[in-house]
Amino acid sequence: MTIATKKLSLTINDQAVGPIDVPEAMMMQDFLYEYLNLTASRMGCGQGICHACTIIVEKDDGALEETRTCIMGAHWFAGKKVRTVEGHAKRDATGAIVALSPVQQAFIEHFSFQCGYCTPGFVTGATVLMDQLKRNPIRREELEPTIVEALDRHICRCSGYVRYLEAVRDLILQTPGLVKA
């Protein structure tokens, strides 16, 4: 028996990847783990419900979008530019982390996670929300409902939702231009 493969090329964390022969039915989560050793996004439910596996897809206009990797085939990402949670922090030429992203830093400052299993998904969701607010600022009174709507799909089994919300709210309020007067 032979597994059908197809060439896959895409950009991951600003690095061109491929073309690589990848099984046609392989999920993106498995491709990231098995071919690239990018293991930070988590396999939670395997059904696209918990969002622990999400990564960012950058659209042609530069807007960011969350996408689940446990239910999306690797070939769906062909030619796309994606960012895994490994690509959020700034790194030096050797690959060492020199600065966390503002979302990652806010989560640490608020001790937003307990076991940390869901954290990559929350980092991804909050980063996409920050990008959306840069493009379309909201009024202050809309902030908490907007955060809840953006992150509600992410499941935290330790129930750390309040700290995630507080971290994202404080970061948004400290970032100029995301909230209208």
Give the model's pLDDT for residue 2.
86
**What does the alpha-carbon distance between residue 172 and residue 102 come to, in Å, rounded to a whole number?**
10
Overall pTM surpassing 0.85 (yes/no): yes
Instruction: Count other C-beta atoms under 10 Å from residue 41's C-beta.
Output: 25
Single-letter code of the amino acid located at 41:
S
Give the model's pLDDT for residue 114.
84
pLDDT digit of tens for each residue in the chain (181 aa)?
A: 789 999 999 999 999 999 999 999 999 999 999 999 999 998 888 899 999 999 999 999 999 999 999 999 999 999 999 999 999 999 999 989 999 999 999 999 999 888 888 899 999 999 999 999 999 999 999 999 999 999 999 998 887 889 999 999 999 999 999 999 7
Task: List CB contacts of 63: < 8 A, sequence separation 6 or more.
Answer: 131, 132, 135
Q: Spell out the alpha helix ranges (H) of the chain.
A: 28-36, 102-109, 119-135, 143-151, 161-174
Query: What are the residues facing 15 on neighbouring strands?
Result: 12
Give the model's pLDDT for residue 158.
82
Give the model's pLDDT for residue 160.
82
How far out from the chain centre does Cα 72 lie?
A: 14
